[in-house]
A and B are shown apart, each in its own frame.
Chain A
């Protein structure tokens, strides 16, 4: 799994760090919308007939394709740029506020920020750090959605021993 590695102190110093405001790798498009609706079997005509993007997939528009001709794509989550020792990740919570629908043809602008990196905590999976990030989605000057995410970056007990 491609992620930045480092000591805990180095990772915790990432709190407050922001990415540049960048354009999405591709515009909102009907093919991806329909694939997503097929995944969850959502028949909503707003998505199938009007080209509206399901709110549940907004984060998809912030992810890079798994390969691109320009070389290694950036990591798909800003949280993976935080240097920490843990070799595994699991997502813990996802909170998104939507200001208006977005539609096929719109190209989002995206900015990420690390809000917090916890001290080391033990869970049933192992020991590691909780990383809280906020991703803001814009269309030109307008904010259309704000996603706050908590991800656990950890090592299993076997790895620690």
Chain B
């Protein structure tokens, strides 16, 4: 990750560096183990197909962390995730790449903290799969 951004330098329209990760079967199973989400659609291909899916797919708690990682890779370790809203519109299956992109939509101030609002989209090769609205806090002052 980078050293991050200074709140005073952040502007609406600033873009995050895209992050792409190959989603292997191993990664999807790792997803289940690391999150204790043993819903079978995340590790059993036959179950996933019976659900109407193509094969096993990433869980919500992959996307929460992946979105946050893309934001804090850009913002730096001083950033604190204050709120993140995500909507899943299409699964990302084992065998597909996941790519996150994002941009700053607004900024504001809350006391000693600067607020940065961002939109992040996670796509597979078939198109957008997850949309996220994220608000982070950054130190707001001369010293950083």
Q: Which residues of A contact B (CB under 8 A)?
A: 1, 32, 35-46, 54-57, 59-60, 63-66, 76, 88-98, 101, 125-126, 156
10 nearest A-B residue pairs (beta carbon): A56-B65, A56-B64, A40-B65, A42-B69, A63-B36, A55-B81, A95-B85, A35-B34, A39-B34, A56-B68
- Which A residues lie within 8 Å of B1 (CB)? 42-44
A54 and B52 contacting across the interface, CB-CB below 8 Å? no
Contact call A57/B86, Cβ cutoff below 8 A: no
Q: Which residue of B lies closest to A88 (CB)?
A: B51
A40–B36 contact, CB under 8 A? no
- Please, which residues of chain B bring their CB within 8 A of the CB of A101? 80
- Are B88 and A36 in contact, CB atoms less than 8 angstroms apart? no
Q: Is there contact, CB below 8 Å, between A76 and B37?
A: yes
Contact B30 A39 (CB under 8 A): yes
Q: Which of B31, B38, B81 contacts A39 (CB 8 A)?
A: B31
Q: Could you name 8 residue pairs across A and B whose Cβ atoms are closer than 8 Å? A: A1-B47, A40-B66, A56-B66, A59-B61, A60-B35, A76-B38, A88-B50, A91-B60
CB-CB under 8 A from A46, the residues of chain B are 77
A residues near B12, Cβ cutoff 8 Å = none
CB nearest to A91 among chain B residues? B60
Given contacts A64-B36, A76-B37, A88-B52, 11 further A-B contacts (CB under 8 A): A37-B65, A38-B34, A39-B35, A41-B69, A44-B1, A57-B34, A59-B64, A63-B36, A94-B63, A95-B85, A156-B51
The reply to whether the CB of B55 lies closer than 8 angstroms to some CB of chain A is no
Classify chain B: how many residues form its interface, as a range: 35 or more
In the complex, the answer to whether A60 meets B36 with C-beta atoms within 8 Å is yes
Residue ranges of B at the interface with A (Cβ–Cβ < 8 Å): 1, 21, 27, 30-31, 33-41, 47, 50-52, 59-69, 72-73, 77, 80-88
Q: Taking A1-B40, A41-B21, A91-B59 as contacts, is the C-beta distance between A98 and B80 under 8 angstroms? A: yes
Smallest Cβ distance from B83 to chain A, in angstroms?
5
Tell me whether A36 and B82 are in contact in the complex, defined as CB-CB below 8 angstroms, given that A44-B1, A55-B68, A56-B68 are known contacts: no
CB of A45 to closest CB in B, whole Å: 6
> Do the beta carbons of B65 and A39 come within 8 Å of each other?
yes
Instruction: Give the docked Cα–Cα distance between A147 and B35 (Å).
Output: 16
List residues of chain B with CB within 8 A of the CB of A89.
Answer: 39
With a CB–CB cut-off of 8 A, which chain A residues contact B41?
A: 90
Task: Find chain B residues with CB under 8 A from A98 CB.
Answer: 80-83
**Which residue from chain B places its CB closest to the CB of A49 in the assembled complex?**
B77
Question: A112 CB to closest chain B CB, in angstroms?
Answer: 16
Rounded to whole angstroms, the CA-CA distance of A67 and B77 in the bound complex is 35
